[in-house]
Structure 1
Amino acid sequence: MSKDRLIIFDTTLRDGEQSPGATMDRDEKLRIARALERLKVDVIEAGFAIASQGDFESVKAIAETIKDSTVCSLARAKDADIDRAGEALKNAASGRIHTFIATSPIHMQHKLRMQPDDVVEAAVKAVKYARNLCADVEFSCEDAGRSEIDFLCRIIEKVIDAGARTINIPDTVGYAIPEQFGHTIGQLIERIPNSHKAVFSVHCHNDLGLAVANSLAAVLNGARQVECTINGLGERAGNASLEEIVMAVRTRGDLFPVETRIDTTGIVPASRLVSTITGFPVQPNKAIVGANAFAHESGIHQDGVLKHRETYEIMRAEDVGWNTNRMVLGKHSGRAAFRARLEELGISFDTNEALNDTFQRFKDLADKKHEVFDEDLQALVSDVKKAAEDERYKLVLLDVASKTGETPEARVVLNVDGSEVEASCEGAGPVDATFRAIEQIAQSDSMLQLYSVNAITSGTDSQGEVTVRLERGGRIVNGHGADTDIITASAKAYLDALNHIAAGVPRAHPQAADV
């Protein structure tokens, strides 16, 4: 018996980017989009085109690059938003405009300040307008999880008549419970007379830790598109995790009447790429992609797995990309092998000079590490691209003295707007001393909210991956740095965050009242 296709709609580049500090630049978004295409994601939501010029350029670049996935842009139910989305997508091999308006009483009254009739009228107008620019239009009922089902039936019937071919039911604030949410989806499909003309989709947030459970309950009740993100990235507590949705459907094929086209061996590489670019580490016990996801410490478990893997493992590690598709490079590897591996990872350079610079840094890293893995290359490329940018703060020299029983001291030399500036400070530890010295130069008046260290690969020669989160004046930014020396990686991360602050105003939030 053939199964229905479950459409996987990935919004890592849009909703995932709304995680505080997770903003990505155009090149980083392109790298992730290529990884999603290799993963065979059906729809890639590339951004919110009207939010900023940077968002527009990113959506446009992805639309012009990706050929095997539909590229989507978010737009509020406003002509200007839809025009901007249409312009960004005009060269896409397959494009989609995703327009939305709030439908819950609390949102209509307090945010939109609109009457229900006016909301229906605006939604229908937006869908018709979008259909003039793009044949593939998706409509979302924002905060559907707290909307009245009679009103949802009414507005959805109208927008399907207007031309929407995908209807998204988002649990925007993570309020739903699986049994109730699944019942809602089933009721909508049953009660709306033209529901057969559209694919019903869900977009669940994880505020109660139920995003994946709610999404799967919706699939069991007729939803045929799930909106999700790599690593469950997203604002607040995040979104439904792509890897968990896909592997649940695949592993429990006895229960789910659907299948995806996802190449699951690309899951772990995509997870690591997103983690490297955003600076959001994956927790070790994260399902599917965490470092401990297939680890067994209990003697009873180990004995069982050795005798028969399925005694304690419901999936094979290789099926999701663990220890597969990895070419190990070393100091004797040549330029051709290096370039070929970068191309396989979806990494390209605009000039030979940039490639040569990256290759030299690879050689320097290979002198410190016996083996250089894909994760090292992803971190190296991110580091090189940052160095090539016109950054206000650049690390010139770091000299740290730390001895048992003595107060650590750091001397830092930075290039600030083309001039070298030096400072020395003591601190509670070498990292604290380094940050104090940097702050003495930058005078950023920022508050350190997070300092996180993660090993990129295994072994004592692994590169350390550091994430620093700074807050200044209500703006939150993440900084990311990697190096075999953890103190140097820390300094790079702090300076990366300072450069994000210096870069200016953050992107607009898609749910902002005005853009």
Structure 2
Amino acid sequence: MRKIDIFDTTLRDGEQSPGINLNTAEKIEIAKQLERLGVTIIEAGFPASSPGDFDAVNKIAGTVKNSIVTGLARCVKNDIDRAWEALKVAEQPHVHVFLATSPIHMEYKLKKTPDQVVEQAVEAVKYAKKFFPLVEWSAEDGFRSDREFLVRIIEKVIEAGATTINVPDTVGYATPQEYGDLFRYLKENVRGAEKVKFSAHCHDDLGMAVANSLAAIENGADQIECTINGIGERAGNASLEEIAVALHIRKDFYQAETGINLKEIKRTSQLVSRLTGFLVPPNKAVVGKNAFAHESGIHQDGVLKNKQTYEIISPELVGEGEVPLVLGKHSGRAAFRDRAQKLGFELSDEKLNKAFEEFKKLADRKKEITEEDLITLLTEQSVSIENIPKFELNSVQVSYGTDNIPTATASVTTPEGETKALAATGAGSVEAIFNTLEQLVDSKVNVLDFQVTSVSKGRDALADAVVKIRYNDVTTTGRDSSQDVLEATAKAFVDAINRYLFHEKFVKKHIAQI
């Protein structure tokens, strides 16, 4: 069996999806889960792009030990310097540098000749090798590049010290046969190809990212770059879970394996979905809620007689199996801590106690505490904002009737410890809540997006609310949950305001340090 390295770029390319804005705590939580999942390389961000990205990459590099941590950099010395500052604490420092190589990108974006592009790529790799033992070089828009030029520039960067060569289909234009042919051509024609790993990075604009990635493996690719749930720019990236499971189920055909801990797939998918606010479509392969559902009578009859009649993937394979519910309103802290640890959460005593208090409140109101409920409560605490004064929602009440004007009242404790009573009206209950809580700050808050989803099943299911706002030219996303959708909405709005406060404090601190 060939070993295929999995390069996860959820925290870099995935976070570039419009509408996703993860803070450092959330990125660290995802990175730790990716480590449990068993990915070879975690691309933690683009250190030179912002203070927040630098901080997240640096903290992840110092936290993760069993996966290689990398950061993205343009073929520019300053980017490489920032990447080194962020990643020098890593177990195996790795940098990912890129430069466009297609005619359209070189002419219109870079405004450089092919010779100038080769020179810049070589100089960047040589410079990166002064610091990093592992240097990946990417030919941005590689698929639409001239093949002979690709051979030329790849040979040069290998000579300069690159250890991995990535040939992306940056705009999702390739077909599987064409993309596979490109990898075979490069492996056969590049001098020194045997000294490096060849990597595939596919986008899903035409819905072929996974198929193209698998075609690359068939034709000699050693590494696949992908994201959890396929999130990413435009239509997204190749889905890690689909590639890993496809190689496992069809190992008879591909003769390749990834080393991914498949039982962690469902949990990883849920965590990324919750923290990004991007819902997983019900019909999504491997991790969608309908992936193992059967409604047709013919299908149900077959599955009851033998699951393999209609299931080529068992739910248990990806961690979808039933987990015994041993926690209830009479459970103690010891049992709760044990379950939290088994679910992969490492919480401080303070955060664990807060999660336990919320669990007890929920257990008094809800008949059945599901695995999804526990993950939601624990995730909220694991990524909660710490060490800054913040607003706390004490209570919210909404008066609504078809013939009345919806009115919301709320009690909030301010960062200074003062209790405020607020009230406002709106065209509907949600707008009334937003108008009420907007009074916590001194100018208009624009609500860019608002979503409420059910965490589990039944009438008493938890509601998970996501509110994306823009205030003072800063965009933040708040999340929270409750059995009541309006309470969850109010808590999520307050969380978004608190994240703005966190952003302001972090930026000012960073500027002061500079």
Length-normalised TM-score, structure 2:
0.91
Fraction of identical pairs, as percent = 49
CA gap 1:149/1:496 in 2 versus in 1, 3 angstroms? farther
Deviates more, 1:171-180 or 1:436-445: 436-445
Tell me what 2:450 maps to: 451
Structure 2 matches for 1:227-376, cutoff 5 A? Answer: 227-324=225-322, 328-350=326-348, 352-376=349-373
Contact 1:21–1:477 (Cα < 8 Å) also in 2: no
Contact 2:385–2:499 (Cα < 8 Å) also in 1: no
Contact 1:20–1:477 (Cα < 8 Å) also in 2: no
Structure 2 matches for 1:54-93, cutoff 5 A? Answer: 54-93=52-91
Structure 2 matches for 1:40-119, cutoff 5 A? Answer: 40-119=38-117
Q: Distance in 1 between matches of 2:155 and 2:506?
A: 34
Q: Deviations over 1:441-478 (max 9, x none)?
A: 54653443432222112222221112223356876543
- Which amino acid in structure 2 is aligned with residue 105 of structure 1? P
Q: CA deviation at 1:23?
A: 2.2
SS at match of 2:62: helix
Q: Deviations over 1:352-384 (max 9, x none)?
A: 333323322222222222343443333324434
Q: CA deviation at 1:130?
A: 1.7
Q: CA deviation at 1:272?
A: 0.7
1:211 equivalent to 2:201? Answer no
Contact 1:51–1:507 (Cα < 8 Å) also in 2: no
Q: Distance in 2 between matches of 1:162 and 1:506?
A: 42
Q: Deviations over 1:110-140 (max 9, x none)?
A: 3222222121111112212222212111111
Deviates more, 1:251-260 or 1:324-333: 324-333
SS at match of 2:330: coil
Tell me what 1:487 maps to: 486
CA gap 1:243/1:391 in 2 versus in 1, 3 angstroms? farther
- Which amino acid in structure 1 is aligned with residue 63 of structure 2? T
- Which amino acid in structure 2 is aligned with residue 338 of structure 1? F
Q: Distance in 2 between matches of 1:444 and 1:106?
A: 44
Q: Distance in 2 between matches of 1:301 and 1:453?
A: 32
Contact 2:155–2:192 (Cα < 8 Å) also in 1: yes
Q: Distance in 2 between matches of 1:414 and 1:106?
A: 55
- Candidates 174, 177, 181, aligned match of 2:175: 177
Contact 1:329–1:371 (Cα < 8 Å) also in 2: no
Q: CA deviation at 1:489?
A: 0.8
Contact 1:464–1:489 (Cα < 8 Å) also in 2: yes
Structure 2 matches for 1:345-424, cutoff 5 A? Answer: 345-350=343-348, 352-384=349-381, 385-386=383-384, 388=386, 390=388, 393-403=391-401, 405-418=403-416, 419-424=418-423
Q: CA deviation at 1:144?
A: 1.4
Deviates more, 1:390-399 or 1:295-304: 390-399
Contact 2:265–2:318 (Cα < 8 Å) also in 1: yes
Report how many residues are paired: 505
- Which amino acid in structure 2 is aligned with residue 230 of structure 1? I
Contact 1:166–1:200 (Cα < 8 Å) also in 2: yes
Tell me what 2:433 maps to: 434
Tell me what 2:459 maps to: 460
Q: Deviations over 1:271-327 (max 9, x none)?
A: 111112222221211111111110011111111111221221111111011025666
CA gap 1:481/1:214 in 2 versus in 1, 3 angstroms? same
Contact 1:425–1:434 (Cα < 8 Å) also in 2: yes
Q: Distance in 2 between matches of 1:106 and 1:473?
A: 37
Q: Distance in 1 between matches of 2:229 and 2:324?
A: 20
Contact 1:31–1:346 (Cα < 8 Å) also in 2: no
- Which amino acid in structure 2 is aligned with residue 57 of structure 1? D
- Which amino acid in structure 2 is aligned with residue 494 of structure 1? F
Q: Distance in 2 between matches of 1:190 and 1:505?
A: 53
- Which amino acid in structure 1 is aligned with residue 217 of structure 2? V
Q: CA deviation at 1:64?
A: 2.2
Unaligned runs of 5+ in 2: 508-514
Deviates more, 1:18-27 or 1:301-310: 18-27
Q: Distance in 1 between matches of 2:325 and 2:110?
A: 53
Q: CA deviation at 1:270?
A: 0.7
Contact 2:263–2:317 (Cα < 8 Å) also in 1: yes
Length-normalised TM-score, structure 1:
0.91
- Which amino acid in structure 2 is aligned with residue 15 of structure 1? D
Q: Distance in 1 between matches of 2:501 and 2:388?
A: 11
CA gap 1:452/1:391 in 2 versus in 1, 3 angstroms? farther
Q: Distance in 1 between matches of 2:19 and 2:402?
A: 35
SS at match of 1:346: coil
Q: Distance in 1 between matches of 2:505 and 2:109?
A: 22
- Candidates 219, 223, 240, aligned match of 1:221: 219
SS at match of 1:140: strand
Aligned residues: CA RMSD:
2.5
Contact 2:5–2:258 (Cα < 8 Å) also in 1: yes
Contact 1:202–1:223 (Cα < 8 Å) also in 2: yes
CA gap 1:259/1:70 in 2 versus in 1, 3 angstroms? same
SS at match of 1:200: strand
Tell me what 2:166 maps to: 168
Tell me what 1:146 maps to: 144
Q: CA deviation at 1:391?
A: 6.0
Contact 2:388–2:502 (Cα < 8 Å) also in 1: no
Tell me what 1:511 maps to: none
Contact 2:385–2:502 (Cα < 8 Å) also in 1: no
CA gap 1:396/1:89 in 2 versus in 1, 3 angstroms? same
Q: Distance in 2 between matches of 1:193 and 1:331?
A: 66
